[in-house]
Structure 1
Amino acid sequence: MRKNNIQEKIKKLAEYHGIDVLGFADASEFEDYLLKKSKRRNPKLSLSDAKTIIIVGVYIGGVVLPSWIKFSFGRTSRLFLSGFFNDVIKQIEPISTLLKNAGYMAIICDDSKRGGSIIPLKLAAIRAGIGWQGKHSLIISRQYGTFLALGGIITNANLDHNDKEETNRCKNCKT
């Protein structure tokens, strides 16, 4: 299957399965990952001929609890409340299946299973042009702010990658 053809099919599948943000990143090592000896730095340790990391984001900002109106209560993470991490995994399985059916390898970045590929999804999202990392360590996208649950697939399909990272708007922020 031609590169552009499979990439278009991935985009259509993502839209069909409710994925709000989709990006494609080069699968090279994350040299600026803080843990220098971590296996997470290098996607090729999970898939030796990795070429692309497909990053998805699902908007989770609609989760609100009535108790949040009262300031005397703490707040629980929207990601936790939404249960969306596992839902993101379910939403990207059809993309993984499409790649495998086209003759490519595809590993879903799922740290809830043994042997699952674990890479720094935030750094991959930055590389894919989805957003920038704030001082609070969350990914911030222009459209969805910090309310994205991320998921990813490492593949040996050589897809067109994002070549421009989103500008980090938090560099001089004092908050």
Structure 2
Amino acid sequence: MRTSTSETALRRLIEHEAKRAGFAAVAVTRPDAIPLAPARLAQFVEEGLHGSMDWMAETLERRSAPSALWPDVRSIIVFAMNYGPDTDPRALQAQTDRAAISVYARNRDYHDVMKGRLKEIAGKIVARAGGDVKVFVDTAPIMEKPLAESAGLGWQGKHTNLVSREFGSWLFLGTIFTTAELEPDEAEIDRCGSCRACLDACPTGAFPAPYRIDARRCISYLTIENKGPVPVEFREKIGNRIYGCDDCLAACPWNKFAQAASEAKLAARDDLREPRLAELILLDDASFRSFFSGSPVKRIGRDRFIRNVLIAAGNSGESGLIAPCRALVADASPLVRGAAVWALSRLTGAATLKALAQDALKAETEEYVVAEWNAALTLAEPQRTQA
């Protein structure tokens, strides 16, 4: 297929503007380039591996093909932004008095950052080529990772995330749908080979098989999407991860190229690199909103966030966290109260726990919290003489 002069000029404009806006890579694909992806997604939802993310089932038909979302689309431009960390984020897990926040959430919400830049580029595409455009950054039913693979930006690795030869597993994705006809780039091939580093790195066994994930076991799902209590079987394995998990991404051998990449990265906020649990556990709703203003962390709300911090506190062994945990036993949120009970069961002796329970249970009406107290007291019973 011959490329016209006007198409070549438009492509140069897109690449120039993408670089100017701080994107690490840009490529083009067609709306019909991912014919196998819808069936895989349907199987994922049918087996219930999406957990409580009901929106995945509700948008399944529209998500199945870009043209189902917008029939007029002729080309899809996929943009990638590098957010690779300077060090291995897993090292923070050894510092039990600190909180591990997923690398992607340590700065401004990438949705806001990328969407603003993509809208500028989209405007210039229309000014040059006419037609119509739509901008999406993980906020519409679009299968960005398969589209990025078909555009040649990388391939979906065994951890189901995009892997790039140049940037490893650390890429944000955004798309511009356009009515303009653009020559598509060549799709990337799977380069994982026999490697299973990402699968073996998962603390909770969230990968039933290569290229398949059970969200219900994923720490990112449990700490972000999950609105209820964290299942007991996963609490200890969560460690100090209070928002998301980077283990499978960080284990990818292709990251050695990401570390050397010099393109503009979305750098982390200094105060979110190694925050102290003792400071985070004190956040009320107002201070939580202020501290995480502009951050994706803000979207889960204070109660879910403190739930996560309390799980980390219970895993920390830090006696200095006992006092704030005791205070949170009387929190207005049942979710927080229940997590505080579990944390105290890990940080205090049986006698102290029993004394706390006597007062707390007099006023407790929430069945979930009562169940947490009963479970904590039952587990502590054999230790009573040691308390």
**Shorter-chain TM band:** 0.7 to 0.9
Which amino acid is the alignment partner of residue 79 of structure 1?
A: Y
Which residue, 125, 145, 158 being the options, matches 1:99?
125
Matched, 1:173 2:195: yes
Deviates more, 1:101-110 or 1:14-23: 101-110
Matched, 1:59 2:86: no
User: What SS does structure 2 have at the residue aligned with 1:38?
Assistant: helix
Normalising by structure 2, we get a TM-score of 0.40
User: What SS does structure 2 have at the residue aligned with 1:27?
Assistant: coil
- Counterparts of 1:23-34 in structure 2, within 5 Å, are 23-28=27-32, 30-33=34-37, 34=40
Whole-Å separation in 2 of the counterparts to 1:110 and 1:66: 25
Distance 1:4 1:66, change over 3 A: closer
The higher radius of gyration belongs to: 2
Gaps of 5+ in 2: 43-59, 198-387
How far did residue 57 of structure 1 move? 0.7
Q: Is the 8 A contact 1:63 1:81 kept in 2?
A: no
Whole-Å separation in 2 of the counterparts to 1:135 and 1:66: 20
Whole-Å separation in 2 of the counterparts to 1:136 and 1:66: 17
Matched, 1:132 2:143: no
Give 2:211's aligned residue: none
Distance 1:92 1:167, change over 3 A: same
Query: Alpha carbon RMSD of aligned pairs, Å?
Result: 2.5
Whole-Å separation in 2 of the counterparts to 1:65 and 1:35: 31
Give 1:22's aligned residue: 26
Alpha-carbon displacement from aligned partner over 1:20-61 (angstroms, at most 9, x marks no partner): 111111111632222345311211123212111111111101
Whole-Å separation in 2 of the counterparts to 1:55 and 1:67: 29
- Counterparts of 1:93-172 in structure 2, within 5 Å, are 93-101=119-127, 102-112=129-139, 117-163=140-186, 165-172=187-194
Whole-Å separation in 1 of the counterparts to 2:8 and 2:114: 24
Which amino acid is the alignment partner of residue 194 of structure 2?
A: N
Give 1:86's aligned residue: 112
Normalising by structure 1, we get a TM-score of 0.84
Give 2:47's aligned residue: none
Whole-Å separation in 1 of the counterparts to 2:82 and 2:70: 28
Whole-Å separation in 2 of the counterparts to 1:139 and 1:17: 21
User: What SS does structure 2 have at the residue aligned with 1:136?
Assistant: coil
Whole-Å separation in 1 of the counterparts to 2:173 and 2:89: 26
Which amino acid is the alignment partner of residue 21 of structure 1?
A: A
Gaps of 5+ in 1: none
Q: Could you say which structure has the higher helix fraction?
A: 2
Greater relative contact order: 1 or 2 (C-alpha under 8 angstroms, separation 6 or more)? 1
Whole-Å separation in 1 of the counterparts to 2:168 and 2:88: 19
